[in-house]
Amino acid sequence: MFATPAFAQTVGAAAGGGPQDIIVQMLPLVLIMVAGYFLLMRPQQQRAKKHQELIKAVKRGDTVVLSSGVIGKVSRVDDAEVQVELAPNVMVKVVRAMISDVRVKGEPAPANDTKS
């Protein structure tokens, strides 16, 4: 009484859904996962790999920025630790993973004031 002929015809087709229906339903989920990999996971992996190479290339005399924001000069390099000179005669041992950036020798420091 309340069902129209169109609803009555689609019930049989929906109940016996085949493998094509499952593929069509799963396709958006798979596309979202692939897009997530290329937009989120892959760039993060590349950034981590680049940071590992940066840490491995640290040598004596490099100016480094630690994860706490402290800037110092590398005075000794060990396998797992780096000795950093923060001020004259002030040496600190730091775990290599805490190095966030390596500044190139001779890189000019940015000026705080602007001259016209």
Q: Count CB atoms within 10 A of the CB of residue 64.
A: 22
CATH match for 57-103 among 1.10.1200, 2.40.50, 2.30.30, 3.40.50: 2.30.30
pLDDT surpassing 60 at residue 13: no
Terminal Cα-to-Cα distance of the chain (whole angstroms): 85
Q: How confident is the model at residue 37 (pLDDT cuts 50, 70, 90)?
A: very high
Over residues 37-58, mean pLDDT: 93
Q: How confident is the model at residue 20 (pLDDT cuts 50, 70, 90)?
A: confident
Q: What φ, ψ does residue 84 adopt, rounded to 5°?
A: -115, 135
Contact 71, 102 (CB under 8 A): no
Q: What's the pTM value of the predicted model, to 2 decimals? A: 0.63
